[in-house]
Structure formats: structure tokens, C-alpha cells
Chains A and B, each alone.
Chain A
């Protein structure tokens, strides 16, 4: 999280933090593992009142930010979600709300309104089952037939599809990408719940079997949505990374506390140099995670030229090093670290989940390599050999 917050941002962050502390303490998160939705509707609606769903939405349709950079503000919410391993479809709802308000003009204003109030949830149907070549390859077809579009294909994993009223579906029309907004009760749409590592996030496989909709359901232009999709991906990655850093922070704090408290051979664990040095390494990963998540959020928020690279760097780094940090925390806790009764696994789950969604660290390293290659080697002055 940013070293320096404005007082408005600090107040905003603290309001969400307090709400999560009260509403979803660790005990409640454990209980929610048996809840089909993973969260209650009232919780989400009250969160929406705190601003969880409006930060990426234009003011004309009812959104607005705290700092002028809505994504940076949202990353504060995401960070607190991670710190509390909080339930709720933060990524899909925000990404879909942003997509609809950014490209849909007034066309989807009503749906945006439902998402803003927390009355409805949306899911983004992006990832696809194997076989696919690499991150972002899309096989699902969206065909234009007269005044209709017809959707055919499978998406998985789709977060919150089972709870959502609307699905934003990314597909292919010929050589280009198209996005359509599909009400979940449209004939031909079927969802099958998946199991997941997280206690409160829910995922489905969603099948589209000749799902027919009027072209008004298209979000943006037919066959020309690639930039929009890339933007959505960057938003999703930014939120996931900020959330993972929050989870890393809580796990690290708890492990440090434990190291002072737990004794072995008559002295605290924190007095053994072999362990102190591992904590020092973890501290560098944690601070580096904060640094890169914040830089990515700022770059994506302002749509800077290096946003794509920074956000992939953030995902690759936080994915790998966040995972290592959590596993180190488990190791330094000993046996208790592997139990359901200890809170550590709540954060391990969140980091494990976010590590893989929207591209594994390896897939993002490939994206980074593409960017490095495109930019050309090193910094070379114009005209110089």
C-alpha cells in the first residue's frame, strides 16, 4: 500500500477496514465456507454503500472516486480485502461496471446502477479451458446473425457466475474480439460450480449453447474489443495484486508476532539468526510487493504507456514471491500452520488463488518478454547505432 495516503484516502481505507473487522472476522470467514454464495447479500450491499463498486464508474452514471484516481482508491479496498481475507466479488463486479460505464454510454446505465447499489453482481467470462496457447487466447465464438448475436463456447473459471445476474462475455468474431452482456437467465446459459482453494470466493464453468441476444447486448464494437479487453485485464490484475499484498501483510505480521512469542530451547524464535535472515528476506519481498502493486495501480489508473508491463511485472512477482512468503510463514509456524483452526490458511488461500487467476506468473513472464522484445534492446538513443 502507498507510503503516503491523503487524509481522504486514509479515512476511506480505514472505514472499509473497520467494516471488514466487524463483519467478517476470521470466524465468520470460516463459517462462510458452507455458504453457497460465499457472502451474504446484505454484506455486499453495505459494502457498495462504502464505495466498493463505484470507483471505476464514470460520474455521469453514478460513480466517482476519492482521489481522482478511482483505481488507486479501489486498490486500497482490495488491500483491506486481502488483509482480512474478505468475501465478495470485488474483481468481477468492478471490472464489469468499469467496462459497461466506459464503453456502453447510457446503453447499460440501468445495469450499472444495479451493480453500483450492490443489488446485483456481475461476472466476467474471460478465461477458457484448455487447450489454449497462452494467456488471452479466446476461442468462444460470438457470431452476428442479422439483428442478433449468437454465443457459443465455454468459459472457466468464472468468478461469481453462480451469484451473478449479468455475465460480461469476451469472445471472438472472426479475427477480432467482441464483448456481450448476457443476463444469466438467458436460454442456453448453464453454470456448473467448481471447487476452489478459497473459502469464500465462488467459481463456475459457464457453457454458452447457441445463446442468442439482440446486438444491443454488445458492449463496444463487434470485432474491435481487444483494447477494451486488455484494459479490463489490467484492472483485474491491479485489484488482485493489491489484494494479495494485503494477505501477505497480515500473514507476515502474524509470523513476526509468533517469532517473538514462540520459544524453543529457552529463547524466542526471533533470536535465531537463521530465522531472522529468512524474515529479512520476507520483509524485502513484502515491501517489494507493496512497491510494485502501487506502481502498477498508478500506471493503470492513468493509462500510462508502461501500464501493461508494470501490471504483468506485479502479477509475476507477487504471484511467485507472495506464494513463497506465505509458505515460509507456514514453515515458521510449524505444525499449527497447517491446521484449519489457525488463521494463516485464510491468507494462504487468497494468495494461492490470486497467483493463478488472470495468468500465472509464468504466463506474465512471457508477456513481459514480449514487451521487452517489442521495445527493442536496452535504451538506445535515436540515431545511435
Chain B
């Protein structure tokens, strides 16, 4: 069987023999999946979180050594040079087993995906193998205190100085920046042109003197959300991604990879494990709450499963449509929107299933004990990765072709655009 990988044609192992090889390794080497250890927005102590990060670095290295890291990354960057079908088979075999979750999103997608598309040969050779070996965890420095939806309105500035750039500003809402290594960062390089035309993307190490990281306590007590203050951060021009002032071109693809993280063939994800801030399955909560016999509870279990299956099938349809070019890349917003609202509804269902244990609980309540705080955090699925309102704008304007919202910042030099408030400096 031949497969096209990057620009080379290589001999590709057939999916079934790959699957058997993966199955044998997984069963012999991995522990069961553990929701507690997986990346999330939970509230655990710094020591526990750092221990989990260190463990996953080793786990990622084990995947790499066994030849199962970067299944769709070309071999010349130390990946396996295989196809999305291989990645799917691997994810199926991985069902129920542990996985280095912190190396998947955003490290593999969107970050590694963006590097593959826009990075220089030198950048790719330097970072992709390091990621696959468990040495680099990446973050996206996109959102700023002044606004995240209006990405192109970024205020972080990058000023050219000889062969370097000097960055100043602040990024926010990065999950896990305090234990991560590298960032893909959007900055403004030109204030005299309209907003989309003065942006540039850079890569930079997170742990350095010019970057101060402060952890933000979330409403559930978790402290993984971070804000970064960049003060005279020097970035060599060799670490620029894409052309100067052409960062929006990179951003458009970056957003595409962001909206398709759940179907990305760069992401390893055990089939059936919860997506994002998942927690216990509805049926386990109902069992813990002793409500399995209650027809109302069963109705909700059925609804939650329905939404999960439909979300998956929708993502599959949209990604097939985009791959065959029958749908534009903007269609990714359709599955993003559906997935976000479906997960929010599922979170509500879990709270309903847990009953009183969603208000007050003890350790004996098992699976039901997470539902109360889960509900408090419900909107993460509709905010993280771009809000569902922004997805609705994209679907109506870019997919259905409805008139764009009036924008007061189009065709105006960015320095003249009015700016509003922020709760955080």
C-alpha cells in the first residue's frame, strides 16, 4: 500500500497490521485510563499537577519509543508518517487506557499543526521531534485581557530590532502555561494599517526572564488558567512563523485547527474517554445516585448519549466534507457550535442526575460528587476555543452567506480604533 506523506511517497504499513501491533503494545504497557490524572480544569494541588505533568512527559516518551507518537507527522520530523485511518485505529485500540493528554491539545493541535503548515524547515526539525519525545509542551498565546473573540484586535506588540523582535504585552486564559515550555504567540507588528494586516506570529520559550506568569484562580478553585506578562521579550527573527504582517493568514488556519481539535488526525485520544472537561459518564452518576431505575433519569441518560453520538457523527460528516472540498473550511464552526452546546446540555443533565449530591456531597457519593462543580464550570465548552457566539457568526455569515455585522474597525488604521474595558490589566 502506498501513502502520500508530506511530499514523499513511502511504503505504509496496512491499517490492520498496525492495529494489531498497537493493541499488543497498549495491552502490555499501559495502565487504565484515569480521569483524575487526565488534563482538565480540576482543582488539585500544585504538587499533584506537576507530578501528573512529569508522568505524562514519560508516558509521551514511551509512546514515542514504541513508535506510536505523531502517527500522522512525517517521518523526517520523527513522526510515523502514517494516515488518519491509522490514527483512528490507534485511538480505538487505546479505548480505556491512559494517554499523555497534556501533549494533545493544544500542543499537537493547533500548535504542531500550525508549525507543520507555516513553520520553516529549521523550526519543524527543532520542535516537532522534541514535542513527540515529551520534551516540549506548547501553549497558544492568543487571547488578551482586552478581548479574545476579536482576535485580530491583539494589542501585544512586536517591534523589530536588527535580527530580533521585542515583544511587550499580555496574554491570558492559557490552560497550564505555568508548567509548559513553548508558545505560539500572536502579536501586532504594524499599527498603521487595518487590524488584520498588521499581525505576525512568533514562537517563544515560556520560561524566561521576560515572561511573568500568574495563575488565575477559577471559580472551581483550579489554578491552571494563566495570564502572562511579556516585558521586552526578545525573539530572533528565525522564530517568526509566516511572513511579517501576514499573521492573519496563519490565524485563519490556526482557528481551523482549533475548531477541529476533536477530529484532528494529529491528536491521540482514547475512544470513549470524555472530551474536554468531561468527568464521570451520566450512567455512572445515575448509578452512584441510585437512580438507574427511575424513568426520568433514564430519559436523561438517553439524551446525553444521543448528544454524544450525534456530535461525533456530525464532526465526522463535517471533516469528510472539508476533506473532499465539498464544504469550505468555515464549516468547522458547525461542529464547534453543536459540540459546545451539546456538552453544556450534558453538564446540566449530569447535575440533574446527581440530584442533591450536586448541591452537597461527600467522598462516598463517588461519580455523583463532581456534578455540582461541573455545573458551575459548564460554559467552558461554549467559551474555550472561541465562543459559540463567534461560531454562530461564522456559520451565518461564512457558511450561509448572510450579511456581515457592521464593523467600525474595518479599513481604519488600528491605532485609531476605539478600545474598551477589561477586568484585568
* CB contact list, A240-290 vs B, under 8 A: 256, 259-260, 268, 270-271, 273, 276-277, 279-281, 283-285, 287-288, 290
Give A316 to B341 CA distance when docked, in angstroms: 17
Residue contact B403 to A287, C-beta cutoff 8 Å = no
B306 touches A317 (CB 8 A): yes
Taking CB atoms and an 8 Å cut-off, the chain B residues in 392-409 that contact chain A are: 392-397, 399-400, 402-403, 405
Taking a contact as CB atoms under 8 Å apart, the answer to whether B96 and A295 are in contact is no
Minimal beta-carbon separation of B276 from chain A (angstroms): 16
CA A385 to CA B180, docked complex, whole Å: 32
**Given B95, B305, B392, which contacts A281 in the complex, CB threshold below 8 Å?**
B392
Residue numbers in A under 8 Å from B309 (CB-CB):
292, 309-310, 313
B303 nearest CB neighbor, chain A only: A365
Segment 27-53 of B: residues with Cβ below 8 Å from A: 27, 32-33
Determine whether the beta carbon of B391 is less than 8 Å from that of A280.
yes
B310 touches A291 (CB 8 A): yes
Residues of B328-373 whose CB lies within 8 A of A: 331, 334-335, 337-338, 341
* Interface flag for B127 (CB, 8 Å): no
Cross-chain contact of A379 among B273, B298, B303, B337 (Cβ < 8 A)? B273
Would A280 and B392 be within 8 Å (CB), given that A287-B334, A292-B309, A294-B317 are in contact?
yes
Stretch at the interface among A23-31, A82-90, A163-171, A367-375: A367-375
- Given A291-B313, A313-B309, A372-B305, does the pair A284, B395 have CB atoms closer than 8 Å? yes
A220 contacts across to B, CB distance below 8 A: none
Q: How many residues of A contact B (CB 8 A)?
A: 47
User: Which secondary structure characterizes the binding site on chain B?
Assistant: helix
Asked if residues A279 and B96 are in contact (CB atoms below 8 Å), the reply is no
Chain B CB within 8 A of A183 CB? no
Q: Is A3 an interface residue (CB 8 A)?
A: yes
**Contact indicator A4/B405 (Cβ below 8 Å):** no
A381 — nearest CB in chain B belongs to which residue? B96
- Determine whether the beta carbon of B95 is less than 8 Å from that of A277: no
| Interface assignment of A147: CB less than 8 Å from any CB of chain B | no
Please give me the residue from chain A that is nearest to B298 by CB atom: A369
Q: Give 13 A-B contacts (CB < 8 Å), ordered by A residue.
A: A3-B320, A260-B402, A271-B402, A273-B405, A279-B396, A281-B337, A283-B334, A284-B314, A287-B338, A288-B314, A369-B283, A381-B96, A381-B97
Q: Mark B residues whose CB is within 8 Å of A.
A: 27, 32-33, 95-97, 270-273, 281, 283-284, 287, 292, 295, 298-299, 301-303, 305-306, 309-311, 313-314, 316-318, 320-321, 324, 326-327, 331, 334-335, 337-338, 341, 389, 391-397, 399-400, 402-403, 405
